[in-house]
């Protein structure tokens, strides 16, 4: 049994806290609002984020961060990407023992273009207490995990030992956890699929059909893999759970906030109206900005991301964006892998 502090009591933090409690761990769930934590402790519900679900009694809610992390050696960070940096800054001030930090958030930070594990490592600079950082990612809607529906995810870290620790922590009969050493690929796949889900939702809102969605998902995966490889990821990761798997679950499900936000945009709502309606985090919006900036900086072609950026931030209409995407110059479909990857993958040939 491990003591685990789950930081972030939204849908995903709460669902993961349930998995950990089902696995017999001592789980503290931190949220910033006292009334929400009172509800978690007394009613055993988190009605805003997981309506209709009863939480296991072992989950203990906290609204004071220091109480949640007291004596824990494992911290699970599940706040939205925009709150990640300030949350880690606060944690760094109160942690006084070695910790392994697992994060399960999906985003890239605008401005710095950092992945979440990079933000965590950067903010812990100067502290001796951070042992390892692990990411948990993959096709996993909180609503379905909280109902024990069979789900598969991947964990990744620079440390194999830390990946295996996270695998053991979460693994059970309804939550199957794989390891993958490609930290960059796992984080990039999880973050960037939200861009593509927004666009798939947009096509639905515009009244377009399945051909268009298949095109967006397939060409979207190509551009995720393209930037991922430019950043050092293993291309095979994008065919796995944190790539194709998460793309499918997010681009085809009404549970997805990114998909739903896209749908509303396609129906003609403004970005502001969409954000007001959602009441939950839509990570793809800031990640579109971050990825657009990063792709430009490192000169990677990402036409779908660029088109969404213009719709979100430059008032291009979705119809005009569709026209721009369809009117691009003719191309080959399949890109060549860099020679060194080919050599690494096919040594025996
Ligand atoms: N939901 C899902 O199925 C999945 C989500 N994820 C990822 O998990 C991360 C968290 O998402 P999710 O739980 O779904 O989000 P939700 O929208 O369900 O909940 C957001 C949570 O973050 C809290 N929060 C918002 N702003 C801040 C802040 N500035 N400081 C501290 N806490 C804050 C909210 O608190 P409050 O209520 O007080 O506003 C709430 O607890 C995202 O990166 C998402 O992509 C990954 C896989 C699955
Ligand atoms: O990441 C998710 C499922 O794997 C959840 O996606 P949304 O944030 O779009 O709901």
State residue 263 phi and psi, 5-degree precision: -55, -45
Nearest bound ligand to CA 29? 1
Kindly give the distance from the C-alpha atom of residue 258 to the centroid of ligand 2, in angstroms, as a whole number: 7
Helix, coil or strand: residue 61? strand
Q: What angle do CA 248, 252, 253 make, to 5 degrees?
A: 115
Report the share of the chain in percent with pLDDT over 70: 96
| The pair of three-digit structure tokens given for residue 200, joined into one six-digit string | 């798939």
- So what's the pLDDT on residue 46? 98
Mean local confidence (pLDDT), 304-333 = 95
Contacts of 243-246 spanning 24+ positions with Cβ under 8 A: 243/185, 243/189, 243/193, 245/138, 245/139, 245/152, 246/137, 246/138, 246/139, 246/140, 246/189, 246/190, 246/193
Query: And the tokens for 76?
Result: 């699970």
Distances (CA, A) of 148 to 15, 46, 175: 10, 17, 8
For the CA of 137, the closest atom of ligand 2 is 4
In the reported structure, the alpha carbon of residue 257 is separated from the centroid of ligand 2 by a whole-number distance in angstroms of 7
Written as one string, the DSSP assignment of 166-206 is HHHHH--SSEEEEE-S-HHHHHHHHHHHHHHHHHHHHHHHT
| Residue the block writes with tokens 């001030």 | 93
List, in order of start, the domains of the chain with CATH numbers. Answer: 3-181 (3.40.50.720), 184-338 (1.10.1040.10)
138 labeled binding residue: yes
Per-residue pLDDT, 335: 83
Q: Is 327 annotated as a binding residue?
A: no
Q: Choose which residue among 80, 194, 288 to substitute to test ligand 1 binding: the one with the highest number of ligand atoms within 8 A of its C-beta.
A: 80
Instruction: Average the pLDDT over 238-249 and give the result.
Output: 98
Q: Which residues pair with 124 in a beta bridge?
A: none
Ligand-binding site membership of 105 (annotated): no
Give the mean model confidence (pLDDT) for residues 265-270: 94
Predicted-complex ipTM score: 0.99
**The two three-digit tokens of residue 60, written as one number:** 């203990």
How far, in Å, from the CA of 173 to the mean position of ligand 2? 22
The pLDDT of residue 47: 97
Of all ligands present, the nearest one to the C-alpha of 77 is 1
What whole-number distance in Å separates Cα of residue 298 and Cα of residue 85?
24
Q: What is the pLDDT of residue 1?
A: 92
Residues of the chain with pLDDT > 90, as a percent, come to 94
- Per-residue pLDDT tens digits for 124-179: 998 889 999 999 999 999 999 999 999 999 999 999 999 999 999 999 999 999 99
Higher pLDDT, 221 or 345: 221
**Mean pLDDT throughout 317-341?**
86
Instruction: Confirm if 28 and 6 have CB atoms less than 8 A apart.
Output: yes
Cα(92) to centroid(ligand 2), Å: 28
Ligand number, closest to the Cα atom of 190: 2
DSSP string covering 270-286 = -HHHHHHHH-S--HHHH
pLDDT single digits (tens) 91-134: 999 999 999 999 999 999 999 999 999 999 999 998 889 999 99
């Amino acid at each position: 049994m491990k003591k685990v502090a789950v930081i972030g009591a939204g849908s995903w933090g709460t669902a993961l806290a349930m998995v950990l409690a089902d696995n017999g761990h001592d789980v503290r769930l931190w949220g910033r609002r006292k009334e929400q934590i009172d509800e978690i402790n007394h009613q055993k519900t988190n009605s805003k984020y997981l309506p209709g679900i009863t939480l296991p009694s072992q989950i203990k809610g906290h609204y004071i961060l220091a109480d949640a992390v007291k004596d824990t050696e494992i911290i699970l960070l599940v706040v939205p990407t925009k709150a990640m940096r300030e949350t880690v800054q606060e944690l760094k001030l109160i942690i006084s023992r070695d910790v392994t930090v697992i994060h399960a958030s999906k985003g890239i930070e605008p401005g710095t273009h950092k992945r979440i594990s990079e933000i965590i490592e950067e903010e812990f600079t100067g502290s001796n207490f951070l042992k390892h950082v692990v990411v948990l990612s993959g096709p996993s809607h909180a609503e379905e995990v909280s109902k024990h529906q069979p789900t598969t995810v991947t964990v990744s870290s620079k440390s194999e030992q830390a990946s295996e620790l996270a695998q053991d922590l979460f693994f059970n009969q309804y939550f199957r956890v794989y390891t993958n050493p490609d930290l960059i690929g796992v984080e990039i796949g999880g973050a960037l699929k939200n861009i593509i889900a927004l666009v798939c939702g947009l096509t639905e809102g515009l009244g377009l059909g399945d051909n268009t969605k298949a095109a967006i998902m397939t060409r979207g995966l190509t551009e995720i893999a393209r930037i991922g490889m430019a950043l050092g990821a293993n291309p095979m990761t994008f065919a796995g759970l944190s790539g194709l798997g998460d793309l499918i679950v997010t681009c085809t499900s009404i549970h997805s906030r990114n998909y739903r936000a896209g749908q509303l945009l396609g129906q003609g709502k403004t970005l502001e109206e969409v954000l007001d309606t959602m009441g939950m985090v839509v990570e793809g919006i800031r990640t579109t900005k971050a990825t657009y900036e990063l792709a430009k900086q490192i000169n990677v072609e990402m036409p779908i991301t660029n088109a969404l950026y213009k719709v979100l931030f430059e008032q291009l209409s979705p119809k005009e964006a569709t026209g721009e995407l369809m009117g691009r110059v003719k191309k080959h479909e399949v890109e060549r892998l860099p020679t060194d990857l080919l050599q690494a993958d096919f040594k025996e040939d």
